[in-house]
Amino acid sequence: LRILTTLGATMPDGKSSATRALVEYASTVRGPGLAVVISDFFDDEGAFEALRYLAHRGLMPAVIQVVAPEDLDPDIDGDVELLDVEDPERTPVLVDRHRVAAYRTRMEGLTLALGEFCLTHGMPWTRVPSSIAFGDALKSCVDAGILAAKI
């Protein structure tokens, strides 16, 4: 409950960086222990190195990639101008069906690379859509070996 209270009291402030947060955390903590990492892994490069650093510090990263359904399968028809909600100063991007197809390919590549990295390094991993029920998300974590089911 302390974690949920802390998260509930946190206000967004600027652009986030999972990589920076993981490195800062790993710099202050030494294992053994478990580090549950919940992210979409879209923010920037270096996430794999940050996960390696957590492991180097004796922590076992358990990776939960949470992705919005519209990020997995954008419903875009025709030409659309997109604005970056995390960086409003950024120049809008004009998107057409070819860019959407390229995006889907890149998204699938990101997910495959993250899953392969975790498998290769013995880190439990799962990807869950943000729209699923909490119980289904927990089941996905059990199936991935992140949580144990009490029988």
Q: What is residue 123's predicted lDDT score, i.e. its pLDDT? A: 93
Higher pLDDT, 39 or 7: 39
pTM reported for the whole predicted model: 0.78
| CA gap 25, 21 in Å, rounded | 6
Instruction: Examine the pLDDT at 151 and tell me if it is beyond 70.
Output: no
Instruction: Examine the pLDDT at 53 and tell me if it is beyond 90.
Output: yes
Instruction: Examine the pLDDT at 46 and tell me if it is beyond 90.
Output: no
- Residue 40 has, within 13 A of its CA and on its CB side, a CA count of 13
Digit-coded pLDDT (tens) for 92-145: 888 888 888 888 898 888 889 999 999 999 999 999 988 988 888 888 888 888
Beta carbons of 66 and 36 less than 8 angstroms apart: no
